[in-house]
Amino acid sequence: GAGVSQSPSNKVTEKGKDVELRCDPISGHTALYWYRQSLGQGLEFLIYFQGNSAPDKSGLPSDRFSAERTGGSVSTLTIQRTQQEDSAVYLCASSPRAGYRSEQYFGPGTRLTVT
Amino acid sequence: KQEVTQIPAALSVPEGENLVLNCSFTDSAIYNLQWFRQDPGKGLTSLLLIQSSQREQTSGRLNASLDKSSGRSTLYIAASQPGDSATYLCAVFTGTASKLTFGTGTRLQVTL
Residue B46 and residue A100: Cβ atoms within 8 Å? no
> pLDDT by residue (tens digit) across B6-31?
999 999 999 999 999 999 999 988 98
Single-letter code of the amino acid located at B86:
A
Residue A109 and residue B98: Cβ atoms within 8 Å? no
* pLDDT higher than threshold 90 for residue A10: yes
Burial B22-41 (b: 16+ CB within 10 A, else e): ebbbeeeebbbbbbbbbeee
Residue A106 and residue B45: Cβ atoms within 8 Å? yes
* pLDDT higher than threshold 80 for residue A99: no
Contacts of A107 in chain B (CB under 8 A): 43
Residue B98 and residue A48: Cβ atoms within 8 Å? yes
pLDDT band at A1 (very low <50, low <70, confident <90, very high): low
* pLDDT higher than threshold 70 for residue B96: no
Q: Of B43, B97, B103, which is closest to A106 when you measure between CB atoms?
A: B43
Give backbone dihedrals phi and psi of B60, rounded to 5 degrees, phi first: 60, -120
Burial A13-39 (b: 16+ CB within 10 A, else e): beeeeebebebbbbeebbbbbbbbbee
Pairing of strands B44-51, B30-38: antiparallel
pLDDT at residue number B95: 62
Across A52-72, average pLDDT: 92
Average pLDDT in chain A:
92
Residue B1 contacts A where some CB pair is shorter than 8 Å: no
Contacts of B100 in chain A (CB under 8 A): 33, 35, 45, 104
pLDDT at residue number B86: 97
Q: What SS3 state is found at A106?
A: strand
* A/B interface, count of CB pairs below 8 Å: 59
* pLDDT higher than threshold 70 for residue B89: yes
Judged by average pLDDT, the poorest of A42-46, A84-88, B93-97 is B93-97
> pLDDT by residue (tens digit) across B27-65?
988 989 999 999 988 889 999 999 999 999 999 999 999
> pLDDT by residue (tens digit) across A18-40?
999 999 999 999 999 999 999 87
Q: Of B31, B36, B102, which is closest to A42 when you measure between CB atoms?
A: B102
* pLDDT higher than threshold 80 for residue B97: no
